[in-house]
């Protein structure tokens, strides 16, 4: 089926507001720079590592780790963390991609089983490094190595800047070109643009048993004020944030989805153990078809912040993101 809110084709355009320094930029802006590497690109804020883009061929997909909080200097996200160690910090991926000769293209997990689906980085690079903003670019190919099936060619740009000592901004834009007729063949929680939070920032989960209950004392909140997994899951709100205490600081991460995205508005997949994703594919009621030559564009803003979402002005950062 076609998603009810989706055009067949969304033209990929890079709006000037997206890759320019925002109107919210202030005199307290921090220096930002990056260093090119063969398999990773670290990004620094005021000389300290903020995040690193990891794209080596040993990975199931490229991702960002760490994503360090502005006060603690420690990652608010996690990688290789039980439960579900295939959640790699901050990333985009997908499962249940079916096409001719492929029943299940699995770009999500397990992370060491690459033959079922792998997202290959083909051209990771620094596009811009001005001293107060870094723009990274990459072209990826979504391929099932077992059959040689090429599902997507995807072009991504990520603008990273630090408007103050308390906030870091990452603006993502993904353009997907569909390389052959395919479908997301079933509803899948293994999607899409996602963050896996540090266990200390997780809410904790008594429902799933003692092995989950110790996880964190954090909180999930969305733009409507709904709380935690019970209140935010399946809601189609513009943004949601995860925050809590770790390493002596209150810090968190918010994901903002742009209203021009394909399949907007995406419903949220949130988990009290530390997972958050605006997923357009988790709650579909029938296979969602895409056709060769279709282009789908997705834009997200990630706000990494000190304090609470209210302290950081996440709502204002959303208005800025969509040009209000």
Query: Would residue 108 count as lying in a domain?
Result: yes
Quick one: pLDDT band at residue 204, thresholds 50, 70, 90? confident
Quick one: pLDDT band at residue 216, thresholds 50, 70, 90? confident
**Backbone torsions φ then ψ of 222, nearest 5 degrees:** -110, 180
Exposure on the CB side of residue 156, measured as CA atoms within 13 A: 29
Per-residue pLDDT for 28 more than 60? yes
In whole angstroms, give the CA distance from residue 227 to residue 183.
Answer: 33
Domain that holds residue 150: 38-322
In whole angstroms, give the CA distance from residue 145 to residue 122.
Answer: 15
Q: State pLDDT tens for residues 48-67.
A: 999 999 999 999 999 999 99
- Give percent above pLDDT 70 in the chain: 89
Going by C-alpha positions, the residue among 209, 233, 210 that lies closest to residue 221 is 233
Query: Would residue 29 count as lying in a domain?
Result: no
Query: Would residue 31 count as lying in a domain?
Result: no
Kindly calculate the radius of gyration of the chain based on its CA atoms and give it in whole angstroms.
18
How high is the pLDDT of residue 309? 98
Q: State pLDDT tens for residues 294-320.
A: 999 999 999 999 999 999 999 999 999
Residue 178, classed as helix, strand or coil, is strand
Query: Would residue 17 count as lying in a domain?
Result: no
Quick one: pLDDT band at residue 291, thresholds 50, 70, 90? very high
Whichever domain contains 229, its CATH number is 2.70.98
Q: How far apart are the first and last CA of the chain?
A: 33
Query: Would residue 3 count as lying in a domain?
Result: no
Characterize the bridge pairing of strands 267-271 and 125-129: unpaired
Q: What angle do CA 267, 268, 270 make, to 5 degrees?
A: 155
Q: State pLDDT tens for residues 104-147.
A: 999 999 989 999 999 999 999 999 999 999 999 999 999 999 99
How high is the pLDDT of residue 111? 86
Query: Would residue 232 count as lying in a domain?
Result: yes
Query: Would residue 152 count as lying in a domain?
Result: yes
Per-residue pLDDT for 12 more than 50? no
How high is the pLDDT of residue 280? 96
DSSP labels, 105-165? E-SSS-TT-GGG-EEEES--EEEEE-BS-EEEEEEEEEEETTTTEEEEEEEEEEEEEEEET
How high is the pLDDT of residue 324? 77
- Count up the domains in the chain and report the number: 1
């Amino acid at each position: 089926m076609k998603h009810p809110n989706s055009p067949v084709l969304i033209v990929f355009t890079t709006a000037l507001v997206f890759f320019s320094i925002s109107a919210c930029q202030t005199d307290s802006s921090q220096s930002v720079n990056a260093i090119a590497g063969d398999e990773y690109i670290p990004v620094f804020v005021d000389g300290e590592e903020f995040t690193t883009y990891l794209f080596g061929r040993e990975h199931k997909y490229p991702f960002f780790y760490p994503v360090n909080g502005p006060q603690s200097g420690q990652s608010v996200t996690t990688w290789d963390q039980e439960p579900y160690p295939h959640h790699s910090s901050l990333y985009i991926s997908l499962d249940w991609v079916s096409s001719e000769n492929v029943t299940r293209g699995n770009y999500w997990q397990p992370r060491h089983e690459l033959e079922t689906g792998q997202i290959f980085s083909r051209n990771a690079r620094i596009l811009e490094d001005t001293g107060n903003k870094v723009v990274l670019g990459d072209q990826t190919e979504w391929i099932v190595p077992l059959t040689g099936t090429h599902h997507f060619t995807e072009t991504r740009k990520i603008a990273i800047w630090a408007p103050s000592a308390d906030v870091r901004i990452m603006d993502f834009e993904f353009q997907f070109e569909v390389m052959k007729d395919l479908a997301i063949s079933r509803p899948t929680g293994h999607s899409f643009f996602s963050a896996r939070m540090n266990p200390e920032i997780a809410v904790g989960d008594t429902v799933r048993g003692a092995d989950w209950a110790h996880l964190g004392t954090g909180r999930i909140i969305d733009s409507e004020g709904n709380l935690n997994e019970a209140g935010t899951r399946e809601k189609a709100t513009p943004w949601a944030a995860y925050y809590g205490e770790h390493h002596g600081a209150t810090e968190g991460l918010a994901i903002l989805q742009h209203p021009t995205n394909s399949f907007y508005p995406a419903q949220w997949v949130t988990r009290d153990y530390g997972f958050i994703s605006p997923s357009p594919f988790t709650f579909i009621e029938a296979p969602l078809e895409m056709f060769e030559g279709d282009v789908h564009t997705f834009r997200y803003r990630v706000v990494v912040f000190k304090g609470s979402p209210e302290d950081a002005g996440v709502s204002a950062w959303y208005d800025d993101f969509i040009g209000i």
